[in-house]
Amino acid sequence: MPAFSLDPAQTARCAELRTLAAERLRPLAEKGEPGHVNRPLVTELGRLGLLERLFTSGAVDLCLMRESLAHACTEAETALALQGLGAHPVHAYGTPAQRERWLPGVAEGSTVAAFALSEPGAGSDAAALELRAEPEPAGDGGPVRWRLTGEKCWISNAPEADFYTVFARTTPDAGARGVTAFLVPADRPGLTGTGLDMLSPHPIGALTFDAVPVTADDMLGEPDRGFRVAMGTLNLFRPSVGAFAVGMAQAALDATLAHTAERDAFSGKLKDLQTVAHQVAEMALRTEAARLMVYAAAAAYDEGSRDVPQRAAMAKLLATETAQYVVDKAVQLHGARALRHGHLLEHLYREVRAPRIYEGASEVQRGIIAKELYATMEAGQ
């Protein structure tokens, strides 16, 4: 694969997005209530045409949007990403009727989507799902029916989303092969939820399914093939989680460059201290390395490369671990001021931790990488 670099149009688009995020999205984000869906912010993302691009652009463009928004307004970035994560299965695997019913509202920001995969006992091990889809006899030749019973947990946008992409077990004891994806509107009888008080400021909640009715008309993709729906979605969004992380790392690096260039210390500026300069250089080096891996993975996805799972895992792993490193170093170089509530780095320090866990923890990404490496080796023998 050739080396990845942004063309002039992409560079200009990134600058435009940063300006839009700072001038139009950040004020709305600041008015939002932590832990709750900020619907005015989601609506503005739709008005700016950013949500529609979730369904008309490729992985590289998704990464450009997420990195640019994250640099200026992490809340806007997360709101956009959650719309994409929850609605992509509908876009990619839904029926024409499902797409017509739900995607226009997602694109305009009037309908909030959510991706409901994790459970209290099945987070990183998605194949161990226990939410049951229990079949009912189809009456009068109507569509096949199921009742969903169980729990989901750590679900972003829950319990305030308008619909959920839900993964449930339709075949017992079948591992990944016995999971089916369903589109479940939030107003279905038996579906309830509660918000969770989390470190990250965006909404996260738990869902309880008490014999929630679904039919074949609610299915996304094929029966017992829901794991394919989940992994197809994650293969697209994992590199863009990396882009989110790169955006935060770049924001922390930019703040550190400005601070160390201005801060007086030991008869000079902080930047004149070799130990400081070397730390800043390391922060920049790791950020750029992560950026290149993210966009290489995104380009591979857009080209339909066979090694997308490995590249996506590598990009997500490197970028999120790098962002944690860079933000932590930025806090250290800023000193106590960075720990005050309201400071950019205090905000980034809270935001940067979660991406190392969600959409597959760092340890899971290492497992995927190793599995793909050995599979490639064995295929070549």
DSSP secondary structure of 205-238: EEEEEEEEEEEGGGEESSTTBHHHHHHHHHHHHH
Question: Which pLDDT band, with edges at 50, 70 and 90, does 208 fall under?
Answer: very high
Say yes or no to pLDDT of 345 above 80: yes
Q: 358: which DSSP letter?
A: T
The rounded percent of the chain whose pLDDT value lies above 90 is 82
**Can you give the pLDDT at residue 381?**
54
**Can you give the pLDDT at residue 148?**
97
Cα separation, 311 vs 314, in Å, equals 5
Say yes or no to pLDDT of 53 above 90: yes
Q: 192: which DSSP letter?
A: E
pLDDT tens for 13-37 read 999 999 999 999 999 999 999 889 9
∠ CA(192), CA(51), CA(37), 5° rounding?
Answer: 35
- In this structure, is the dihedral angle defined by the CA atoms of residues 317, 320, 323 and 329, taken in order, positive or negative? negative
- Please give the class, per CATH, of domain 114-224: mainly beta
Say yes or no to pLDDT of 121 above 90: no
If one compares 3 and 18, the residue with the highest pLDDT of the two is 18
Say yes or no to pLDDT of 1 above 60: no
The amino acid at 34: P
**Neighbour tally for 286: CB within 10 Å:** 20
Q: 50: which DSSP letter?
A: T
Residues 200-204 have a mean pLDDT of 85
Question: Which pLDDT band, with edges at 50, 70 and 90, does 2 fall under?
Answer: very low
**Can you give the pLDDT at residue 124?**
65
**Can you give the pLDDT at residue 222?**
94
Query: CATH 2.40.110.10 in the chain, residues?
Result: 114-224
List the structure tokens of 12: 């200009």
**Can you give the pLDDT at residue 140?**
66
> Coil, helix or strand for 37?
coil
Q: Which residues contact 293 (CB under 8 A, 6 or more apart)?
A: 242, 311, 314, 315, 318, 319
CATH, domain 8-108, list 3.40.50.620, 1.10.540.10, 3.40.50.300, 3.90.1150.10? 1.10.540.10
If one compares 3 and 233, the residue with the highest pLDDT of the two is 233
pLDDT tens for 296-329 read 999 999 999 999 999 999 999 999 999 999 999 9
pLDDT tens for 134-184 read 998 766 666 789 999 999 999 999 999 999 999 999 998 888 889 999 999
Question: Which pLDDT band, with edges at 50, 70 and 90, does 5 fall under?
Answer: confident
List the structure tokens of 51: 């949500």
Mean pLDDT, rounded, of the chain: 93
Say if CB 312 and CB 239 are below 8 A apart.
yes
Reported residue count of the chain is 381
List the structure tokens of 272: 């004149």
Q: 153: closest CA among 209, 106, 111, 112?
A: 209
pLDDT tens for 245-276 read 999 999 999 999 999 999 988 888 999 999 99
**Can you give the pLDDT at residue 111?**
98
CATH, domain 228-380, list 2.40.420.20, 3.40.630.10, 1.20.140.10, 3.40.50.2300? 1.20.140.10
Q: Which residues are catalytic?
A: 359
